[in-house]
A and B are shown apart, each in its own frame.
Chain A
């Protein structure tokens, strides 16, 4: 059977392979992958994860250009799965996106991927189903360059190479992370010390800026959303490399690291204690070597770097640190005492807040003040980097000195090292010509990357993938896409199936990539020849942004996918997965009653219910339910229809008339209403509601006022002359201690529990 498959695959692919790489004989490389639930304890607690062939990360798969890959996936999970070959050129049906290029691999079933390897370089693979990538389904996918290849580089391709996949681990269930993000739960910020509360603002002398930010309806700012417990390099927090091919590493030895960022949402700073880092490839494509002090690897990017061991007797730290600088992992290269690199100092969040304030217009758009920003050249976040712009509190400068024992003349610029060279896209230059055929028809597209931090909705041109059609392109056309990022976070935009050119001023030698990291306010242009038929996903690779709907499908030519019997319905299934509703429930079990609410929301719709349930009839029972739709880019406006039920006997607060002198019976009331919510400056929610009997109710509400790191305040007042104020201490992710005063129910203390 095996030989038959072998023969079949040869017959199938010979014409193709011959045309791209004639020098090598066909070789079938076969892997069997067993996907299975497992328990791990990366960060102190036993948690569920997914292991493949018993390991995390998934096994490194190696091929040579010219081989045929055959990968058999055995799904031993209780849920469906899929594998996507990130950055790999292949027929669309092998691309591994459930419902788009294949049916999901069902539990207890086996699926075979088979495709010719027609390129070389550092790539990786991961699950494209749900949030499985977060809990272990990522691995190295290395395509080696044959020695007789025309582009074989001496001093680069002949060095020992180590495949490395970076990832993060959290003890939280990723579904919970997703929900917390959508519900603006700031537990991550508390863990990271990035709440930017009023108290902390006063302490830093930045209260004015904080209030100005809230006036512009901005919550606390950060460079990343999720707090992770551990960072992993090939599944380990600390590991070392002291021998290569059995021989101990000595001074002058060079090693090539083939690094993929398999993290679900983390960017990583890469730094080396042994000197400069030589960058030789990006996203699997060779670039002319460039020396840098550090680089930031975006989610799902790959970089090939060369490190030199400068001295015997020392083992040099290669350090991987999250962009928010809360966590790092280390890989020590060389034998001996471990030479550390200075940890990256904490971000100056208030400086970032100030910068964001200056760049945000009242309508939520970003304004770049006339600076044309692109290609990661100008990192606005640098205002937050103490190592570039100096420590937040300026310490007295130390005199320069010459160390005799050290025999080095060093110019010490206090803690500032402004001569640090950081890699940016303008520095990447392809080793080969990347120009596209001049005669091809060029289709131009423009997209604005948009987002709403408060509700965690991410989109392109204010539309999520489920609200748009596929982008149709004829085979052989050049697609040129200009992207502008008008959101407050950076986005690593990934294209399946193709490498695109990043237009960076290097003309014919513009670098080829398949992930473009685009910072806030940047404009970048990419282009590629659409010469492979099929439906190709183009999306933000931050897992939680993708799941929120930030992407498009590029449909090239007419493609009959043999995996999909009913492509239209399958596509609907895929869209549904990107816009799943998420649930939040909260209840305060207080001395004077229960006070709580539940919300079921997706990117546009909101079904919410609020209740105040007293322990006796005088306090009353009250439930208000609303179904609304968020309108506009910033989603400040939400019209809704509501249904109120309340019952109470006249109690402590006997107001039967509202501000407008309308009679309002509170004792028993069940009524429909229509109204709207509008988010005012200072993040105050204004709610207007009208009932069939003509009664009007206006309310002002603000919850989650960040008084200090763990204290949150809130208030509500309305035209029925009801009011409420509360103060909550956040104990952990789900539990808070809350005290409040309510005009209906009086003073209460309780424990608030949230889901």
Chain B
């Protein structure tokens, strides 16, 4: 017993000595952008590590004072962690998605702005969408809105698909039905009324599974219209083998890569392309 306690003491002493020896602390000042007290807490927490690194951030001057053990911690790693928590600094710029997920009060002015082209997804909404579409032919407008509804379903977002369906209804109402039927959209006379019913159905429902059932029938209609009418680029007629109790269901997409609107994120890549409908 005695020897064990001696051993323990020796062990304690030696680690203590080791600790004192490796305490080669260095203090550096680095600029870290941010706004408020909440930012301060996030930044300081992100910098901490098991080697005793401490960061103190001043929200007025935006200067971070970092004290760290030069032998064990690399300053670069500390600043990387701070950037990955959402805060731009002298060495690293935070990923855009992490920055955008920061709390509202933490949305500081970034020292280097993001170029618009880098944003991952830009959606068109409401009136501006309608104006942009004024130059397209009638079927292409219908097609665009249809793809918008599909996008909503892919994202499991019933309100998005419903909103896109509303835009389509507005367009259909603004356009003279008779005119669509006689001149612009081939096949509209036969399918127009059921088409409008389905789209209205989607606007009224906020239930994804109901929307998907209607979307299945809508897809058949748009497919047959696409065969008859002019549009730009190719369309892919794609198939999900599981929907509709295993009977399968189809949809149209501008992309060859499958994004399944019937199951959304649960089965995102499930499905295959049946046919390429060439643009005219």
Chain A residues with a Cβ under 8 A of chain B: 273-275, 293, 310-311, 313-314, 337-343, 370-372, 377-379, 382-383, 388-390, 398, 401, 403, 405-413, 415-419, 421-422, 424, 426-427, 505
Partner of A408 from B84, B116, B256, B271 at Cβ < 8 Å: B116
Contact yes or no, B98 A342, CB < 8 A: yes
Which 8 interchain pairs have the tightest Cβ spacing?
A: A342-B95, A378-B269, A408-B119, A339-B93, A389-B265, A338-B92, A337-B93, A411-B121
Query: SS class of chain B's interface: helix, strand, loop or mixed?
Result: loop
Contact yes or no, A342 B97, CB < 8 A: yes
A383 to B269, CA, bound (A): 10
Stretch at the interface among B106-114, B193-201, B222-230: B106-114
* Distance from A249 Cβ to chain B, minimum over Cβ atoms (Å): 16
B240: nearest chain-A partner, CB-CB:
A371
Contact yes or no, A379 B257, CB < 8 A: no
Partner of A371 from B93, B107, B110, B242 at Cβ < 8 Å: B242
* Distance from A632 Cβ to chain B, minimum over Cβ atoms (Å): 32
Residue B67 lies at the interface, judged by CB distance under 8 Å to chain A: no
A390 to B156, CA, bound (A): 11
Which residues on A sit within 8 Å (CB–CB) of B113? 405-407
Which residues on A sit within 8 Å (CB–CB) of B157? 413
Which residues on B sit within 8 Å (CB–CB) of A412? 97, 100-101
* Distance from B146 Cβ to chain A, minimum over Cβ atoms (Å): 17
Please list 18 pairs of residues, one from A and one from B, whose beta carbons are closer than 8 Å in the complex, sorted by A's number. A275-B118, A310-B118, A311-B112, A314-B112, A337-B92, A338-B83, A340-B92, A342-B95, A370-B241, A370-B246, A371-B242, A383-B266, A388-B268, A389-B266, A406-B100, A418-B154, A424-B257, A424-B269
B103: nearest chain-A partner, CB-CB:
A398
A753 to B269, CA, bound (A): 46
Knowing A340-B92, A342-B98, say if A310 contacts B117 (CB, 8 Å): yes
A140 to B258, CA, bound (A): 34
Contact yes or no, A407 B266, CB < 8 A: no
Residues of chain B at interface, number, CB under 8 A: 50
Contact yes or no, A377 B269, CB < 8 A: yes
Partner of B114 from A340, A408, A413 at Cβ < 8 Å: A408
Contact yes or no, A416 B95, CB < 8 A: no
* Distance from B271 Cβ to chain A, minimum over Cβ atoms (Å): 8
* Distance from A524 Cβ to chain B, minimum over Cβ atoms (Å): 14
Knowing A378-B270, A424-B257, say if A419 contacts B120 (CB, 8 Å): yes
Which residues on B sit within 8 Å (CB–CB) of A311? 112, 115
Residue B213 lies at the interface, judged by CB distance under 8 Å to chain A: no
Partner of A405 from B109, B118, B272 at Cβ < 8 Å: B109
Which residues on B sit within 8 Å (CB–CB) of A417? 97, 120
A586 to B114, CA, bound (A): 58
Knowing A310-B118, A418-B268, say if A337 contacts B97 (CB, 8 Å): no
Contact yes or no, B80 A340, CB < 8 A: yes
A408 to B120, CA, bound (A): 10
Q: Which residues 119-150 in B have Cβ within 8 Å of A in the complex?
A: 119-123
Contact yes or no, A409 B119, CB < 8 A: yes
Which residues on B sit within 8 Å (CB–CB) of A388? 265, 268
Residue B277 lies at the interface, judged by CB distance under 8 Å to chain A: no
Which residues on A sit within 8 Å (CB–CB) of B255? 421
Knowing A337-B112, A412-B100, A505-B273, say if A421 contacts B95 (CB, 8 Å): no
Which residues on B sit within 8 Å (CB–CB) of A341? 95
Contact yes or no, B91 A273, CB < 8 A: no
Given contacts A338-B91, A377-B272, A382-B268, could you give 7 more A-B pairs where the C-beta distance is less than 8 Å?
A275-B118, A340-B95, A377-B269, A408-B114, A408-B119, A412-B101, A417-B97
Residue B166 lies at the interface, judged by CB distance under 8 Å to chain A: no
Which residues on B sit within 8 Å (CB–CB) of A383? 266
A417 to B98, CA, bound (A): 13
Contact yes or no, B265 A390, CB < 8 A: yes
A428 to B264, CA, bound (A): 25
A505 to B121, CA, bound (A): 29
A341 to B96, CA, bound (A): 8
Which residues on B sit within 8 Å (CB–CB) of A390? 265
A422 to B269, CA, bound (A): 10
B154: nearest chain-A partner, CB-CB:
A418
Knowing A417-B120, A418-B265, say if A371 contacts B270 (CB, 8 Å): yes
B107: nearest chain-A partner, CB-CB:
A403
Partner of A416 from B115, B265, B270 at Cβ < 8 Å: B265
A424 to B104, CA, bound (A): 38
Which residues on A sit within 8 Å (CB–CB) of B265? 388-390, 416, 418
Which residues on A sit within 8 Å (CB–CB) of B93? 314, 337-340
Partner of B256 from A370, A389, A415, A427 at Cβ < 8 Å: A427
B33-74 interface mask toward A, CB cutoff 8 Å, 1 = contact, 0 = none?
000000000000000000000000000000000000000000
Residue B212 lies at the interface, judged by CB distance under 8 Å to chain A: no
Contact yes or no, B120 A343, CB < 8 A: no
* Distance from A473 Cβ to chain B, minimum over Cβ atoms (Å): 31
Which residues on A sit within 8 Å (CB–CB) of B171? none
A15 to B118, CA, bound (A): 52
Which residues on A sit within 8 Å (CB–CB) of B257? 377, 421-422, 424, 427
